[in-house]
A and B are shown apart, each in its own frame.
Chain A
C-alpha cells in the first residue's frame, strides 16, 4: 500500500470532519483510506496539463432571485425537528470559554 495512513492523519481528518474512531473501527478506517487513496492515485497516470477543471458540466450561469421578501415567519418549521429548544432558539452545549 503506497498510502500509509497514520494515527495522526486519522485524528486530523477526525477534527475536520468531526468524527471519532476508536479500536477496530479506527484500524479498519486506516486500512480502507489507504486503499482508497491508492486507488484514486490512478488519476495521476493521466496527463491533465492544459485542461481546465470542470466544476459544472454545463455553462449554467447567472441564476438569480430578485430581492423580494417571499418568506413569512418560519419559527415553527425551523424548530420543529430540533432535539432541544429554549425561547424559540436551538440549545447547544456552551460555546463561550470562561
Chain B
C-alpha cells in the first residue's frame, strides 16, 4: 500500500503599495518612465544618501494589519538585509526582521469543506528592487532602478494551507482586502502582487513538518496551482525513492512546467540582518491607531449585509458585485445618481461580465464611469433607445467610456418616435409581405414577429419594438 502524504503550504506575498512616491525618497512610483528616470541618490545607493520613511507606507501597512486581524507592533524598526545583487543598489535591502510592523493575524477563506482560518505570521514593510534586463546582443545584463525603492509589504502566512485551492482562495481573499483598502492594485501579471510558495510534504498524521522549499517567479494563479502540483509531486517522488528534500529556493518555469534550484556557491543565504542605523524606530501611539481604524473602509461582509437590506437585488448579484471593490463602488455610485439598483446590477452582471470575460480582463479594469452608466440606463428607461441599440452603445462605452447621450445623438441612434414615419414603415412592411399577412390572419402568431423584424430593419433599428407591435396589430 502506498504511503499517503499531506502537503503543507505557507505563502510569502509581496504587495506593491499604491503610494505616489517610493518608500524612502521623493521619486515617483509611476510605471512607464524611461529607464532610471524615476531615480535619485537615495534609491540608487549613492554614497552619502540617506533614507527617510514615507508616512503613507506605514499607514497602509497598519491598515492591512488591522484588516488581517493582526496585532500592531507598537515599537517597530527597520533592518538591513545584506546580499549582493545588481538589482539592489546598496547591496542591502531595507526590510524588517526583528520587529515587523504587524504580527499574529488571520484571514478566513471559503473552502469546499467550509470556512477556514489562515494564520498571518507577520506583515513587514520593505523596499522593492530594480529591474534586470538581459541584453542578448552584448550578452550582459542591464539595470534599471525605476522600481528600486517602491514600497512593498510582505505578508507571511503560517503554514496553514493544504492544497492549491486553499492557496488561491487565500490569495483572492488578500487581494480583496487590499483592494478594499485601496492600498494596492494587486496585479499578479504586472508584479504588483507576488507570491512565493513555501511547500513541504509529510506523511498523513505526522506532527512535524517536512523539509520545505521556497518557490519563486509565480505570476498567475494558474502558475501557482501548477507549481504547487509540480513541487508536491517532486517532493513525494524524492521521499518515495528514499531521498531527501533539500531546503532551497527554486524558480518555477511556467513554460516548461518545471522548477529548478537557484543554488550558487556565491549565495550563502546569510543575510546578516541588523537594525538600520539610518532610520528612526517607528512608535505607534493610540491616536495613530485610532485614526487608521476610523479610516478603514466597509469590507465585503458588511457590504453584502447592507446591500441585502438596502437594494432589492438577488444574493447572487450581491456576491459578484462585492467581489470587486471597484465594481461595488461603481454600483453604488450609479445608484446614487438615481438609477434603479436592479437595472444597474443587470448591466454589471450581464453585459459587463460578458465583455470582461471576452477580453480576459478583471473587474478592476472596468473603465466606464458611473455617470455614463446612469445616462445609458436613463436612455433605455425613456425609450430613447431600444435594448439592442443600448447594448451596442454599452459596448462602445465599455471600450472607450464615451458619453452615451452624446454618442447616441452623434450617431443618430435615437428611437424614431414620429408616429407618421412609423406608420408608413409598417404599412410598407404589410404591403411587401402579403404571405406573412395572410399567415398571421390565419392564426400564425409567429408571422407577426417577422413583420416586426422587417419594420425594424426598415427603420434601421431605431424604432421602439413595442410601438411597432401595437401598430401592426392595429393595421392588420
Contact = CB atoms under 8 A, between A and B. Distances in A.
Interface string A66-96: 1111110111011100000011111111111
A93 B27 CA distance: 27
Given A62-B280, A67-B19, A74 B27 contact: yes
B133 A89 contact: yes
Interface string A11-23: 0100110100000
A16 B272 contact: yes
Interface in B105-155: 132-135, 138-145
Given A12-B268, A92-B143, A64 B53 contact: yes
Interface in A29-77: 55-56, 60-71, 73-75, 77
A69 B82 CA distance: 28
A89 B144 contact: yes
Contacts of B145: 78
Contact of B25 (A12, A56, A71): A71
Contacts of A18: 84
Nearest to B139: A94
Given A74-B36, A75-B36, A87-B142, A65 B27 contact: no
Interface stretch (B2-10, B37-45, B346-354, B372-380): B37-45
Interface string B443-467: 0000000000000000000000000
A56 B20 contact: no
B129 to A, nearest CB: 12
B21 to A, nearest CB: 5
A63 B283 CA distance: 10
A93 B141 contact: yes
Given A78-B44, A92-B86, A93-B140, A65 B36 contact: no
Contacts of B132: 92, 95-96
Interface in B127-185: 132-135, 138-145
B39 A74 contact: yes
Interface string B271-300: 010010101111100000000000000000
Nearest to B282: A62
A90 B146 CA distance: 12
Interface stretch (B54-62, B203-211, B393-401): B54-62
A67 B55 contact: yes
B38 A94 contact: no
A75 B39 contact: yes
A89 B142 contact: yes
B36 A78 contact: yes
Contacts of B57: 67
A96 B25 CA distance: 29
Contact of B56 (A60, A67, A70, A88): A67
9 contacts: A16-B268, A65-B54, A68-B21, A70-B21, A71-B25, A74-B37, A75-B35, A91-B135, A94-B139
Interface of B: 19-21, 25-28, 33-41, 44, 52-58, 77, 82, 84-86, 132-135, 138-145, 265-266, 268, 270, 272, 275, 277, 279-283
Closest 6 CB pairs of A and B: A70-B26, A89-B142, A64-B55, A67-B56, A90-B143, A55-B275
Interface of A: 12, 15-16, 18, 55-56, 60-71, 73-75, 77-79, 86-96
